[in-house]
Amino acid sequence: MRWNKKQEPNKQIVTSLSNALNVDYGIAKLLVSRNIETYKQAKTFFRPSLDDLHDPFLMKDMNLAVSRIEKAITNKEIIMVFGDYDVDGTTAVSVVASYLKKDYKNVVTYIPDRYEEGYGVSYKGIDFASDNDIGLIIALDCGTKAIEKIDYATKKGVDFIIADHHRPSKELPEAVAVLNPKRKDCSYPYDELCGCGVGFKLIQALGVNKGQKIEEFTPYLDMVATAIAADIVPVTGENRTLAYFGMQVINKNPRVGIKALIAEANRPIINITDVVFTIAPRINAAGRMKSGIHAVNLLMEDDKNKAKKFATEIEKYNLDRKKLDQQITAEALRLIVKNEEENNFTSVVYDENWHKGVIGIVASRLIETYYRPTLVFTKSGNYLAASARSVKGFDVYHALEECAEFIEQFGGHKYAAGLTLKPENYIKFKAQFEQVVKDAIPPELLEPEISIDAEIPLSNITPKFYRILKQFGPFGPKNMKPVFLSTGMRDNGYGKKVGAEGDHLKINIISDADQKTYNAIGFNLGKKQELINNGKSFDIAYVIEENTWQGNTSIQLNIKDIRA
């Protein structure tokens, strides 16, 4: 791993902020490195307010979207709320549909089938709307590139409102409204909302016209926070405010469906990382293994007994997903070795029998072994479908644009994308993608990086220091949990491998500075035990966490890497 120490911020600004806030210089340094330089910015950061949320009508086409929905309600039209089958899409559908249904019952939900219809707006969904006299579709977390499909819907007399966050092409669909803060002609102040976030802005705008206060929208924020966590969007600005209050809802009074999921998982949800690893995979499992509509049904359910039944079904899907994910990852790793592609700049693998619902997870797993841009393909009807994942710093979406001549359809983000191509183009695409990445990727991006915020002595880790550090959350991209460096550490002689396979490393670290002992755990660092044996001196890169064991809570160092 590459250890990359962040650039030292301006000392004058750090000292000024330290004095203004009456906090330790080290805390002020962490804030300035997050572009928080004034008392006012720090107050907004540490004490988010719902008043910080932007006026939804600043988003391009929002007035058109609200007018069309209000017209549909006045005319008693059926409104279809349509969304992608992942966490972001299903939570977005649940937010918008549940809000509309409070006062208007003529609302139906629709999640496309991952296998029959694929990602995004589908002809089958449009035909369903047309056949059932549905005049308006609100498409969430998809639709920005669905130019031909929106034209098809218009000819069938079906209007579209698109509420999306994916990167647009030069041309936009001819919909009634295209809500997307990434539009070049959209001056909305924050362009990193997830799909569910854009859906939330839509219901907020509907509420403004009804005279509702922002506090009335708090109950929807458990779903928005879940989408922010799952879709790996920056936890900055408006996203951080939404996630902050959403986590409060999850911890204090989550909706019945989320409460049922947490009970089924039998794991407490304390912070946003717990959402990523507990709630999100289960919601995703519905769309991966069966249908995303199961997740929508759960999230919109008010009856405890029905929610428990839905959550039990989803838990089974999640267990099935885990087995498939492990099996296909093993097969994909064997395929890379068989094809003698261990030293390539990319991992591109294909098997027609792989389950389409887990290829995205498998792509992420392969990056854990071969740290490079990765695509996993499987058969999907007459085409091959793939999930793409990238490494930190490399734009896989842009790399796919360079291979567009061999691709039928693609969309996504810098680090994750999906695509389809004709089977006869697979070999050509694979060669082109390898060449594009080889030519573009700097060598250092092929090695995992630990970005270190600051070097500190362990004696800095006081209860007060940690209390303030906790308030930096909720954590996520562009507001990650601070990583610290401490040098000249020693183990007290009781360090050992732990875990069923001895994969992890449990260390009792002695700091030479104060001779105190600090508890530490290094997940997947068992192979580095040699570095700490026999009183050897070593350096650690770590984050500071709480560990609760048998009712006792203590501060623990979660070691990310060790070096001599």
CA distances from 559 to 49, 305, 543 (A): 33, 42, 7
Count of H helices and E strands in the chain? 19, 19
Please state, as a whole number, how many other Cβ atoms lie within 10 Å of the Cβ of residue 501. Answer: 8
Identify the pLDDT of residue 43.
Answer: 93
CA-based R_g, the chain, Å:
25
HEC profile for 124-164?
A: HHHHHHHHCCEEEEEEECCCCCCHHHHHHHHHCCCEEEEEC
- Which CATH entry fits the domain spanning 450-563: 1.20.140.10, 3.40.50.300, 2.40.50.460, 3.20.20.70? 2.40.50.460
Would you say the pTM of this structure is higher than 0.75? yes
Give yes or no for a contact between 510 and 491, defined as CB atoms under 8 angstroms apart. yes
Residues of the chain with CATH 3.90.1640.30: 56-313
β-bridge partners, 349: 376
196 burial class (0-12, 13-18, 19+ CB within 10 angstroms)? buried
- Contact between 176 and 42 under an 8 Å Cβ cutoff? The reply is no
Cis bond before residue 448 (omega within 30° of 0) = no
* Tens digits of residue pLDDT in 65-123: 999 999 999 999 999 999 999 999 999 999 999 999 999 999 999 999 888 888 889 99
The CATH code of domain 56-313 reads: 3.90.1640.30
- What pLDDT, on the 0 to 100 scale, is given for residue 276? 93
Residue 80 phi/psi, 5-degree rounding, is -100, 125
Residues of the chain with CATH 3.10.310.30: 339-446
Provide the percentage of residues in the chain whose pLDDT is more than 70. Answer: 99
Give residue-wise pLDDT tens across range 200-232.
999 999 999 999 999 999 999 999 999 999 998
Residues in a beta bridge with 81: 109, 138
Confidence (pLDDT) at 411? 83
Give the pLDDT band (50/70/90) at residue 152. Answer: very high
- In sequence order, the 6+-apart residues with CB closer than 8 A to the CB of 140 are 81, 82, 83, 84, 89, 92, 93, 96, 163, 164, 195, 196, 198, 199
Two tokens, residue 5: 């120490």
Mean local confidence (pLDDT), 474-494: 93
Residue whose token pair is 């991992």: 347
Amino acid present at 154? T
Show the 3-state SS of 10-37: CHHHHHHHHHHHCCCHHHHHHHHCCCCC
Contact between 540 and 491 (Cβ < 8 Å)? no
Which tens digits make up the pLDDT trace of 365-422? 999 999 999 999 999 989 999 999 999 999 999 999 999 999 998 888 889 999 999 9
pLDDT score at 507: 94
User: Is residue 511 predicted with pLDDT exceeding 80?
Assistant: no
CA distance 503 to 527: 7
Mean pLDDT of the chain: 94
Residue 94, both tokens = 């649940």
Task: Give the residue among 254, 323, 306 at the shortest CA–CA distance from 91.
Answer: 254
Mean pLDDT to the nearest integer, 482-502: 91
Residue 289 structure tokens: 């293994």
| Residue bearing tokens 């928080």 | 36
| Residue 512, pLDDT above cutoff 70 | no
CATH class entry, domain 339-446: alpha beta
53 closest CA partner among 218, 210, 226, 166: 218
Per-residue burial over 59-86, b if 16 or more Cβ lie within 10 Å, else e, is bbbbeebbebbeebbeeebbbbbbbbbb
- Coil/strand/helix, residue 171: coil
Q: How far apart are CA 332 and CA 377, in angstroms?
A: 10
Q: How far apart are CA 268 and CA 280, in angstroms?
A: 14
N-terminal to C-terminal alpha carbon distance within the chain: 13
